[in-house]
Amino acid sequence: MALATSMWYYYVMRSIGERSTDPGLLVLTSLAEGPKHGYAITLDVERLAGVKLGPGTLYGALSRLEERGLIEALPPEDRRRPYRLTGAGSAALAEHLQALERVARSGLDRLRAAEAIQ
């Protein structure tokens, strides 16, 4: 029984974690610190969120974010192309993070309230 509960918990948490680690959000968060090239973004995201973005995922996210005007490519440095947030990207990131903060705060408050009842 304990093994079944443990496996259920693992898959539920894995599912939640996968849905809450949007590559676009992670890239925007990384670039909030300043311009970075792809490899530097990958390393930062891994340190920040424990998520390793593969090249396809990273460059797909960069392409989508650039198409939406949230980031822009800078002139290449050697063989690397850095990216930076645009004003629209900073505003979108701030709005999204504030919404996540409200949800997290509410969820933690509700958990505390539920624990107090039990």
pLDDT digits over 58-68, tens only? 999 999 999 99
The answer to whether residue 95 sits within a structural domain is yes
Distant-in-sequence, close-in-space partners of 77: CB < 8 Å, separation ≥ 6: 37
Q: How confident is the model at residue 39 (pLDDT cuts 50, 70, 90)?
A: very high
Give me the CATH number covering residue 89.
1.10.10.10
The answer to whether residue 12 sits within a structural domain is no
Lowest-confidence segment of 5-19, 65-79, 98-112 by average pLDDT: 5-19
Q: How confident is the model at residue 18 (pLDDT cuts 50, 70, 90)?
A: very low
The answer to whether residue 59 sits within a structural domain is yes
Q: What is the pLDDT of residues 80-115, one digit of tens each?
A: 999 999 999 999 999 999 988 999 899 999 999 888
The answer to whether residue 92 sits within a structural domain is yes
Q: pTM for the complete prediction?
A: 0.79
- What's the number of domains the chain is made of? 1
The answer to whether residue 11 sits within a structural domain is no
Give me the domain span that covers residue 77: 22-117
